[in-house]
Amino acid sequence: MDLPRSTYYYRSKSKPDGEQELLERIEAVIEEFPGYGYRRVTRELHRQGFRDNHKKVLRIMKKHGLTKKLRCRWVCTTNSNHAYRIYPNLMPNLLVTGPNQLWVADLTYIGILSGFVYLAIVLDLFARRLVGYALSQRIDTALCLEALRMALVQRKPPAGVIHHSDRGVQYASGDYVEVLNEHGFRISMARKGNPYDNAAAESFIKTLKSEEVYLWEYRTLNDVQNRLPYFLEEVYNHKRLHSSIGYVPPVEFEEMFYQTKSCPVTLTASV
């Protein structure tokens, strides 16, 4: 064929396009966790063996339109204009060293075609693990009690656990406080007009809205009931990386604690 020997044996010295492989992995992560920002995407890639830094991940995500902001509807869920007792805030400077020391509770809403569905949640602050939740078309004490009772069944907490919430009428009501007292909870409530006092619950709700609710076109209560438990239990508790606990999922963080009998990172109630 009249080819020089050097041409016949030539092999390209250029490396494969690593950026394309990284892009494919980024897309796979976002497909599974649609609400992830570039920092959590980077952490998930590190868990998979990639070592690219967050700046490169952000550049690629921007280049390919993989970052976006979502719009939402808003409705007030806290009515603190009531005659029930308001309890002091027990959270400032509280050091959380293990599960079942501090639970936080809150309410939020999910838009459907006919209006709103309301969600009550209870989190164990140690691992940011969701331990109780309930859905209803009524935003009342019964909804909050259903979420609390789910948490009680799942966790069987000892006496002395702090239960923290806002000053809403649902959490201050006689029926709700009675159940807390029956199980030996220490009751704590946020200061008036200070959303940072329940920051962990607010952070969870923000995650829920941006990574699940706004990405699905819920039409009916049944749509919410069929889809939401999967995100809460399988995605949030078991898979989603949480920045405040070292970018591991809540269930994994608790398992690490029980294996070592020590807290993997330093936590405070204000985180």
Q: Cα torsion at 252, 48, 40, 18 (round to 10°)?
A: 180
Tell me what pLDDT residue 240 has: 93
Whether residues 29 and 129 fall in one domain: no
Q: Which domain holds residue 198?
A: 102-260
Q: Are residues 58 and 111 in the same domain?
A: no
Q: Which helix (H) or strand (E) holds 130?
A: strand 129-136
Specify whether the CB–CB gap between 143 and 118 falls below 8 A: yes
The 8-class DSSP code of residue 263 comes to -
- What per-residue string of b and e applies to 115-152 under the rule 16 or more CB within 10 Å gives b? eebbbbbbbbbbbbbbbbbbbbeebebebbbebbebbb
- Domain membership flag for residue 221: yes
What pLDDT score does 196 carry? 72
Tens of pLDDT, residue by residue, the chain (271 residues): 677 776 666 555 544 456 788 888 888 887 777 767 778 888 888 888 777 887 888 888 877 777 765 555 445 555 566 679 999 999 988 899 999 999 999 999 998 888 899 999 999 999 999 999 999 999 999 999 999 999 999 999 999 999 999 999 999 999 999 999 999 999 999 987 676 778 899 999 999 998 888 888 788 889 999 999 999 999 999 999 998 899 999 999 999 999 987 776 656 555 4
Same domain (yes/no): 107, 27:
no
Assess whether 242 and 115 both reside in one domain: yes
Name the amino acid, one letter, at 100: N
Last residue of one domain, picked from the residues 39, 63, 87: 63
pLDDT at 47: 82
Work out how many domains the chain is built from and give that number: 2
Q: Tell me 248's DSSP state.
A: B
Q: Look at residue 200 and give its three-state secondary structure.
A: helix
Q: How many CA atoms lie within 13 A of 16 on its CB side?
A: 4
pLDDT reported for residue 151: 98
Q: Are residues 153 and 231 in the same domain?
A: yes
Q: What is the CATH number of the domain that holds 242?
A: 3.30.420.10
pTM for the structure as a whole: 0.73
In a domain, 37, yes or no: yes
b/e per residue, 155-174, with b = 16+ CB within 10 A? bebeeebbbbbbbbbbbbbe
Answer yes or no: do 243 and 113 share one domain: yes
Nearest to 121 by CA among 148, 98, 153, 155: 148
Asked whether 130 and 123 are in contact (CB, 8 A), the reply is yes
User: What is the reported pLDDT for 271?
Assistant: 46
For residue 80, the model assigns a pLDDT of 62
Q: Do residues 182 and 121 share a domain?
A: yes
Helix/strand/coil percent split, the chain, to 5: 45, 15, 40
- Establish if 10 belongs to a structural domain: no
Q: What is the DSSP letter of 123?
A: E
16: Cβ–Cβ under 8 A, 6 or more apart, which residues?
A: none
- Based on the domain organization, do 164 and 250 belong to the same domain? yes
